[in-house]
Amino acid sequence: MDMPVPLSRKAYARKLEELHIELVKLQLWAKHTGAKVCIVFEGRDGAGKGGVIKAIMERVSPRVFRVVALPPPTDREKSQMFIQRYLPLFPAAGEIMIFDRSWYNRAGVERVMGFTSDEQVQKFLRGTPLVERAAVESGIIMLKYWLEVSEEEQTRRMKDRIDDPRKVWKLSPMDLESYSRWYDYARARDEMFAATDTEWAPWFVARSDNKKRARLNIISHLLSHIPYKEVPREDIKLPKRQKPGGYKEADYARHKVPELY
């Protein structure tokens, strides 16, 4: 395989700016048409899911593009149908919901780490395509992405988290344990794909060893799979400010932030 041409920071920033413009168009289209979009991101620890989501969210409204990253389930939620706590978070009209991990926890981390039984996993794998089909038939556009990182690159990123005080919060005992179970995750991923890669809600795999390329590729892909159009809008002009009417600026602040920089 030929090595890709290096991507400079300037080229990356320029292309990302172009994609941000299209994401804003998508946002306006979703609000105008009442479209419902559901985007799922899955992958191993360190695969780059957070970076992709951050790149998507950088220039859009969090009231339209909404990120879902659920905490561990409560005792009540553990007694529910597994996917039940995710269903209220599926998009309504004019919403684009982004799941930073999702109901697929059951087929991945919960399975590999022994938090669920094999019987529960098999029920999940049989039932999930049916739920997703119902969602798609209700009008939801569903996109599912698996970020594929190599063993070597995952190791490099995990070591970087250990050495960088800004990233150490990203490491937990669970992350370290899951790191050691590479092939358990590979088998779980393969079975998950076999059961849930459907015609109505297929999986899309993105190589993510190069973070910048992965972000550009995924954003370009999701834009190409949503039939958005530019929404006509009126020209915007700033109104004239009111006259001061005798107002004088008051020295009202008792406590001021020191200007150190």
Averaged pLDDT, 76-97:
95
Please tell me the total number of residues recorded for the chain in this structure: 261
Averaged pLDDT, 107-136:
95
Domain locations along the chain:
12-224
Cβ contacts of residue 29 below 8 Å, gap of 6+?
Answer: 35, 228, 229, 230, 231
Amino acid 16 reads L
For the record, the structure tokens of 174 come out as 């669970």
The residues pairing with 204 across neighbouring beta strands, listed in sequence order, are 145
Query: What is residue 1's predicted lDDT score, i.e. its pLDDT?
Result: 47
Instruction: Give phi and psi for 238, each to the nearest 5.
Output: -70, 135
> Cα separation of 232 and 234, whole Å?
7
In tens, the pLDDT along 156-194 reads 999 998 888 888 887 777 778 888 899 999 999 999 999
Cβ contacts of residue 129 below 8 Å, gap of 6+?
Answer: 195, 196, 198, 201
Cβ neighbours around 38 below 10 Å, total: 24
> Cα separation of 127 and 130, whole Å?
5
Cβ neighbours around 29 below 10 Å, total: 17
In tens, the pLDDT along 13-39 reads 999 999 999 999 999 999 999 999 999
The residues pairing with 86 across neighbouring beta strands, listed in sequence order, are none
Pairing label, strands 203-207, 36-43 = unpaired
Under CATH, domain 12-224 is a member of which superfamily? P-loop containing nucleotide triphosphate hydrolases (3.40.50.300)
4 vs 170, more confident: 170
Which residue bears the tokens 């005792």? 75
In tens, the pLDDT along 224-241 reads 999 999 999 889 899 999
From residue 181, give the alpha-carbon distance in Å to each of 41, 112, 206: 20, 8, 21
Averaged pLDDT, 207-223:
97
Query: What is residue 171's predicted lDDT score, i.e. its pLDDT?
Result: 78
Q: What is the mean pLDDT of the chain?
A: 93
**How is residue 73 annotated by DSSP?**
P
> Cα separation of 122 and 118, whole Å?
6
Query: What is residue 2's predicted lDDT score, i.e. its pLDDT?
Result: 54
Contact 50, 58 (CB under 8 A): no
